[in-house]
Structure 1
Amino acid sequence: MFIHPGFDPVAISIGPVAIRWYGLMYLLGFLSGWLLGRYRAKQSWRGWTVTQVDDFVTYVILGVVLGGRLGYVLFYQPQFIWTDPLEIFAIWHGGMSFHGGLLGVIVACWWFARRHGKSIFDVGDFVAPLIAPGLFFGRLGNFINAELWGRVTDGPWGMVFPGAGAVPRHASQLYEATLEGLVLFLLVWFYSASPRPKGAVGGAFLVGYGAFRFIVEFARQPDAHLGYIAFGWLTMGQILCVPMILFGAWLMVRNR
């Protein structure tokens, strides 16, 4: 059994200015995606240029932040819409949804594609391998903050989290960082190294993330105010993964 180190959520404090670990993880996620995107552009991947990548980063940041917050409210806290509408915009209070962020990125890809005369499938294929490193850093941020912990376990790898009682739990944040971050990045990156039909690389990302997230949800504690949606085991995260997997599979086979 392990004990969570109980990290200070504030990484750097200079006078009244406090920089939190979670914010740094977001910064590292965007930075890693930007650098990898520039690397791909220098390899002349489907005609992309470094300048286009630099421009695209702005679209992605807006899509992730706005989509992630709106998705969290719609999927997990819809009561905010009529009880406290201003809370929808309170990003500093925490609460971001990957599925909402993904929808935000899709909208950003569509907008960017229209402005630059590209196919949305080309844009999606370009950005798909760049997302997983951001997921890796994001889940590390969850672990540092001791949030989104896993279900109770009697395995020797269990960890006691502050605020979660004295029982050991799955460190599901680290499971997700490994599968949705490192493993998914390697799979999609090397899959995209060979010529693929338009949309196939984006589809591979959707299938991979959806499958990994669906599996990890069996170890992750469901949101207290939602619990299990059906059958005593199905969670909201798993429900949201099903259309991802189906749509991703369609993208991978539609041009074969």
Structure 2
Amino acid sequence: MLGLPYDRLVYPNPLNIDPVAFSLGPLQVHWYAFAYLVAFGLYLLLAMRRAGKPGRALSRKQAVEALIHGELGAYLGGRIGYVLFYNLPLYLAHPLQIFAVWDGGMSFHGGLIGVIIALAWLARQERLPLLAVTDFVAPLIPLGLAAGRVGNFINGNLFGRACHHGFAWCAYFPHGGDVLRYPSQLFEAIGEGLVLFAILWVFSARRRPTGAVSALFLLAYGLIRFTLEFWRQPDPQLGFVAFGWMTMGQVLSVPMIAGGAIMLYETLRAPRRTPAPTGHSVAAHERG
């Protein structure tokens, strides 16, 4: 340590967990990979609890298909989004680097677009309204996001800005220099994960107009991400991209906030739409 007075939290974390979970010869398996498995498990646990019940659009089988489609969309969209939004000059100069996914580089906002496209394809196949599908899926996402942010913390990437004096929970990160920084990954795990999950789970527990849960996801995530970006270090290759203080994450969150707010307002003020298929009708649809 550097002898500073507020060094209570030390990278990688208070438990000193090695970012590498285990090694198989030259192959290293990181804890971050397990974050994906945790995300899958939490999605399935929550989906099986809600799927097929009255007022829920998806059967259990369709919920699993939504996971498969959504993960593929998230992976492809996240990678393409990172290339376009965060480091396009590099990839234009070295296009083969686009496929070097082991070097990292994923965008949540790109992944979100990919998920929407993938779920639209599923909805068309199953003859379901897209917003009914996204309403079902949206509350199941945040806990997986929390797992991913914890994985970011253990890996030591996406760290925060330099800590202000007096804040106890600061950390040194391998690529953050000799500066105590906010553990912004943990802030995001709480905000984008636990808080957002609580909001969506409670809101979606009652019958809502189709599209309302999806709209709230866009609005709430956008607001939480925009706010927490003030504690997160801007991407080094970009810095601040607007007005001298806005990060790329904040710029990309603005359309989510605006779109989610408009969509939620219009959804809640419109006459109640036809309820989503009940568990019985979903089962009948599967038999058909």
Task: State if a TM-score over 0.5 links the two structures.
Answer: yes
Residue equivalent to 2:246: 234
**Does structure 1 residue 244 correspond to structure 2 residue 251?**
no
The Cα shift of 1:134 comes to 1.2
Q: Matches of 1:35 and 1:90 in 2, distance apart?
A: 32
- Which of 6, 10, 13 does residue 3 from structure 1 map onto? 10
Gaps of 5+ in 2: 1-6, 270-288
Name the SS of the counterpart of 1:19 in structure 2: strand
Matched, 1:116 2:126: yes
Partner of 2:181: 169
- Compute the TM-score of the two structures, normalised by the length of structure 2: 0.85
1:7 is displaced (CA, Å) by 4.0
* The one of 240, 245, 253 aligned to 2:265: 253
Cα distance 1:252–1:11, how it changes in 2: closer, same or farther (>3 A)? Answer: same
Structure 2 CA distance for partners of 1:17 and 1:42, relative to 1, 3 Å? farther
Q: Which sections of structure 1, spanning at least 5 residues, go unmatched?
A: none
Deviation at 1:16?
4.5
| 1:179-222 per-position Cα deviation (integer Å, ceiling 9, x unaligned) | 00001001001100111111110111111110011011111000
Cα displacement (A) at 1:4: 1.1
2:39·2:147 contact (CA, 8 Å) conserved in 1? yes
Bigger radius of gyration, 1 or 2?
2
Indicate the residue corresponding to 1:141 in structure 2.
151
* Greater RCO (CA < 8 Å, at least 6 residues apart): 2
Match of 2:48 in 1: 38
Offset of residue 19 of structure 1: 2.0
- What is the Cα deviation at residue 56 of structure 1? 1.7
Cα distance between partner residues in 2 of 1:135 and 1:227: 24
Residue 206 of structure 1 is matched in structure 2 by 218
> 1:3, 1:18 → 2: CA distance?
23
Residue of structure 1 equivalent to 2:284: none
1:52 correspondence with 2:62: yes
- Taking a change above 3 Å as real, the CA distance of residues 226 and 17 of structure 1, as seen in their structure-2 partners, is closer
1:182-221 matches, cutoff 5 A: 182-221=194-233
CA RMSD of aligned residues (A): 1.5
Could you report, residue by residue, the CA deviation over 1:222-246 in whole angstroms, capped at 9, with x for unpaired residues?
0111111122211111000000011
CA distance in 1 between partners of 2:88 and 2:175 (Å) = 25
Query: For residue 94 of structure 2, what is the aligned residue in structure 1?
Result: 84
Alpha-carbon separation, structure 2, partners of 1:34 and 1:107: 21
Residues 55, 207 of structure 2: 8 Å contact kept: no
Cα drift, residue 42 of structure 1:
4.2
Paired amino acid for 2:159: W
AA partner of residue 30 (structure 1): F
| CA deviation string 1:34-75 (max 9, x = no partner) | 221121104344242111112222101101111111111110
Amino acid at match of 2:28: A
Aligned identity (percent) is 50
Greater mean alpha carbon deviation, residues 95-104 or residues 42-51: 42-51
**2:114 matches 1:104:** yes
1:62 maps to which residue?
Answer: 72
Paired residue type of 1:108: A
Aligned residues: 256
- Classify 1:218/1:47 alpha carbon distance in 2 versus 1 (closer, same or farther; 3 Å): closer
1:23-34 mapped onto 2 (5 Å cutoff): 23-34=33-44
TM-score (structure 1 length as normaliser): 0.95
Residues 30 and 61 in structure 1, CA contact (< 8 A), matched pair in contact too: no
Please report how far the alpha carbon of residue 80 of structure 1 lies from its aligned counterpart in structure 2 after TM superposition.
Answer: 3.9
The CA distance in 1 between the partners of 2:222 and 2:209, in whole Å, is 21
* d(CA) in 1 for partners of 2:211, 2:113: 16
Of stretches 21-30 and 83-92 in structure 1, the one that deviates more from structure 2 is: 83-92
Give the secondary structure class of the aligned counterpart of 1:11. strand
